Structure 1
C-alpha cells in the first residue's frame, strides 16, 4: 500500500474495469486492480512460511489502520478491524450498558436493527422506533427524554439515498448520548461528517470497493470509558497468554499499558482471567481479523485517500443526477424526489407507475444495466467510474418498458 500518496483522476479511473452498465454499488462494489493484486499477494505469501507471512500481515495491518484513521479523522487506536458491518454493530450493541433506550429508525437496513433487538432481549437498551424516511434533528429532538442514551442511524439510507446530517444529529443528542453510525452506504462515496460519530462501523465490500471479510470499527476516546467490553475476547485483552513477555499474545498493532505480571505462570501456563481490556477500539474485538481482507481494505482506502472523497462524491452526484433525470423523463416517480443533491448519497430509487418493478428491472438488465429491485422500487447506485453510457442504457431500457 502507498500511504499518503496522491494520484491523478485518470490513474484512479484506470484502476477499475467493471461493465459500463454496472450501477449497483449499494449492493457490492467491484474491486480495483490494486486490491485484486493485493489479494493475490496475500494468497502467495500464505503458501509459504507462515511466520514470514504473519510478520508481513502485521505490518500491512498497521498500515491499514493508519489509513483508516486518516479517512475517519481519528486516532489509530480508535480504529479496529472486524469481519463485517453487522459484526461491528453487534459489538456496539453488546458494549452499551443495560437500561434506557436507543432510537432506531424503523426503515433502517436490517443489519442496523437486529443487533439492538437482540441485545434488548438480553437486558440492553430498549428499542424506541422512529417512523420517518428522513432522520432530521427536529425529529430526533421530539423523541428525546432522560431515558434515551443513543441513536443509531445510517449515514446514507440504503433505499432513499438520504444523507443523514450527522453533525446536526450529534448536536441535538449532546455529549451524554451516543451517535452510532452505520456508514457502509456512504463512506468513501460522499463526504460525511465522521467526526460527529461516537461509534462508526463500515464494511469494505460496497463503496470502498475492497471485497468481503473486513470492516472498520471506530470507537472514539470520548465515549470509550462509558462502554462495556461486550464482545471483547482474547484479542481485546492485555497479555492473554500470561507472563512470558509484556507483549505475548497481543494482536498486531496492540500495545499493553498494564504493568507486567511477574508472579510466574499458572500451572497450565495460562494467564489469570479475565484480563484487563486493551485501550481503544480493539477491546471490542473477539479474535484476530481476516488479515488478507484487512490488507485489501487498506489498499482500497489508500485509493480513496489518493483522489479524495470530495472528488469521488462530486462525480457520483453528477452521474446519479443524470440517471435520475433520465428516469423522470421516462415518467418515473423518484423516491424522495425533493431531496437536494447535497442531502443525497450515491443512491436513488424510482418506479414506473403501473409497472411491476421486477419487470422494469428485467428490461434494464436486457439493456445491460445491473440494478437492484427492493421494496417496490428500482435502485440506482452508480460510482465515480460509471460512464455516461449507463444513462443511455437506462433510457433505452425504460423506453422498451413503455413500448411493451
Structure 2
C-alpha cells in the first residue's frame, strides 16, 4: 500500500462509501477550521483586520503557483472554473478547436464568444482528445485548442505534453478541474490552466485559479477585467487604467479572503501529502474496484490505460438507475447517468470501500436459491409469491375501511401484485404511489408506519409501508396497509400522496406536478425551466418508469436526446 502522510489522512471524515469526488470533494478539517478562524477574525474587526485578511489571497496564489510549476505573476485566483474559461474564450481571437463531448463548462464559453463575434468554433467529434486526432483537425486558421486534462465521463487523461507538441505555437487552454492535485501532469505546457477547487482539491465551492503563460499574456486581450485587474488599482483618479501586465489582469474583483484562506489550506495539504502519493493511492483503489467489478460481471466502460480518478461501468442486464439504487442502499455515493455509473475515490477512501461495492453489486447478481423453508426473518422474491394468497385474509381480518396490498419492486412501476379492499381504487398491475416511488429512487427503504395521508376521494387515511427483504437485506417488495382515519377531517393535513390507478396516470400526475412547480407554461419555457422539470422528475423517481423519457420529451416539446442531456448535466 502506498505510504501517505498521516496528517493528510487525519484531515478527512467522509464515509467509506463516498465515491463521488469527481462531483464534489468533502473539505478537510483544516479547511473548516481555517474558515471558522477567519470568520471569527472578521467578526472582531479592528484597524488592520481587512489588510490582514486580504493577505490570504497571496498565500493561496503562492500555493497554486507552486503546485502548477509557475509563479504568482502568472497566477490569478478565480471563484470557479467557468469564469476562467469564459475569460479565456472572450480574450481569444481567430478559431478555437474544442471537443463536442467536453463538459459544458468548456463548451458554452466558446459558443458564447462566437455568438458575440469574438471568434469562431471548430468542434472535434466525440471521442478521446488525442494528439493524433487534434493534429488531423488543425488548420492554419485555428489559433487556440481547448481541452480537459481529464474527461469527466470516461476519466481519460489527456497527454498534455503530446498535445503541446502538436499545437505548436497556438494557445493551449486546459481545464484541469478533474485532475489537478491528484495526477502528475506537466501543467506548465498549458498557456491557460484553469482549475476549480471544489472537487479533488477539496477546498469547497467558490475556489479556483488560472495560470497564464507569457504567450497567453502577450496574445490575449483581457476584456473581462475589473478594477482589481488594472494597473494601480488603488489609485482612484477617475480614469480607466489599462490592464495589469501580469495574470492579475484577469481579476474582476476581490475574492472573499475567507474563501482564499480556506483554498490556501487545501492546496497546502496537497503539497504536504505529495501529488505522487495521492495519485498512487487513488490508483490502488481503482484497481481494487476493477477486481470487484470483474468478479460481479460488470464491464468497465471508462479509460484504463490513461486514466485519473474516474471509473465508469455498466452491469449487463441491470439499468444504471437500478445499479445506482443498489449502491445508494448500501451507503455508496456515486454519479448515475443513463448510460453508466461513475465511481471516483480519493486518497482518503479506505480499502473497505471495495467490500462495500462488492456487497452492493452482489445484491443484484447473486443467484437466488429455490424456495424451501425461509429462515426466520428472511424473505425472498418467492416469499412475495407466497404472500399473495394471504392478502385477502389480512384485509378481511382488519375489516371494512381497510386496504392491504403487496408491491414487487422488481416490477416497477406497475408493482402491485396483490390487493384487497377498495380504499384507493387500485387493482393488480397498478403502480405504486408517488411517495413510495420517490423513496425507492432515493434508496430510502426504511419502514413507514402509521402516517397520515388522504385517499383519491379526499378521505383521511392512515398508512403503513413495511419493506420486505431478501436474505441479504435488500428490499424486494413492500406490504402496505391503508385504513380510514375517522378521527381526522377529510382532506386535512398529512403526508402528500397520490394513488394513481395506472402507470399512465402516474406519469401524467408526476409531469403535471413538476410543470406546475416550474411556474410557467411549457410553451413559454426556456432551457432552465425545462431542466428544472427534469430535475424534479428525476428526484421523484419518474425515470424508473418505462418509456418515461419519450413521454416527457413529447410533453416538453424536445427530443429524447435533449432529456438525456439535461439528466447528464443534473447528475454531473
Shorter-chain TM band: 0.7 to 0.9
Checking the alignment, whether the CA contact within 8 Å between 1:83 and 1:290 is kept in structure 2 is no
Q: Does 1:362 align with 2:358?
A: no
Farther off after superposition, 319-328 or 70-79: 319-328
Picking from 324, 342, 349, the partner of 2:312 is 349
For residues 112-131 of structure 1, what are the structure 2 equivalents within 5 Å?
112-131=106-125
- What's the CA shift for 1:331? 1.2
**RMSD across aligned C-alpha pairs, in angstroms?**
1.5
Q: Does 1:145 align with 2:139?
A: yes
Picking from 331, 342, 345, the partner of 1:379 is 342
1:376-397 deviations in whole A, cap 9, x for unaligned? Answer: 2100000001011111011111
Query: Equivalents in 1 of 2:211, 2:338: separation in Å?
Result: 31
Picking from 126, 129, 141, the partner of 1:135 is 129
- What's the CA shift for 1:49? 1.5
Residue aligned with 1:57, SS: helix
Q: Does 1:310 align with 2:304?
A: no
Query: Equivalents in 2 of 1:84, 1:212: separation in Å?
Result: 8
Query: Equivalents in 1 of 2:4, 2:346: separation in Å?
Result: 17
Q: Does 1:39 align with 2:5?
A: no
TM-score, scaled relative to structure 2: 0.62
Structure 1 369/8 Cα, relative in aligned 2: closer, same or farther at 3 Å? closer
Checking the alignment, whether the CA contact within 8 Å between 1:214 and 1:290 is kept in structure 2 is no
Query: Equivalents in 2 of 1:8, 1:142: separation in Å?
Result: 42
1:96-127 deviations in whole A, cap 9, x for unaligned? Answer: 12xx3211111111111100000000112211
Query: Equivalents in 2 of 1:134, 1:367: separation in Å?
Result: 33
1:135-170 deviations in whole A, cap 9, x for unaligned? Answer: 111100001111111111111111100000001101
For residues 72-111 of structure 1, what are the structure 2 equivalents within 5 Å?
72-97=68-93, 100-111=94-105
Residue aligned with 1:225, SS: helix
Checking the alignment, whether the CA contact within 8 Å between 2:302 and 2:313 is kept in structure 1 is no
Question: Who wins on radius of gyration, i.e. which is larger?
Answer: 2
- What's the CA shift for 1:270? 3.5
For residues 215-226 of structure 1, what are the structure 2 equivalents within 5 Å?
215-226=208-219
Checking the alignment, whether the CA contact within 8 Å between 1:25 and 1:206 is kept in structure 2 is yes
Picking from 230, 254, 268, the partner of 1:288 is 254
Query: Equivalents in 2 of 1:276, 1:395: separation in Å?
Result: 59
Query: Equivalents in 2 of 1:170, 1:313: separation in Å?
Result: 23
Query: Equivalents in 2 of 1:320, 1:132: separation in Å?
Result: 25
TM-score, scaled relative to structure 1: 0.87
Greater RCO, CA 8 A, separation 6+: 1
- What's the CA shift for 1:239? 2.5
Identify unmatched segments of 5+ residues in structure 2: 367-409, 411-572
- What's the CA shift for 1:335? 1.2
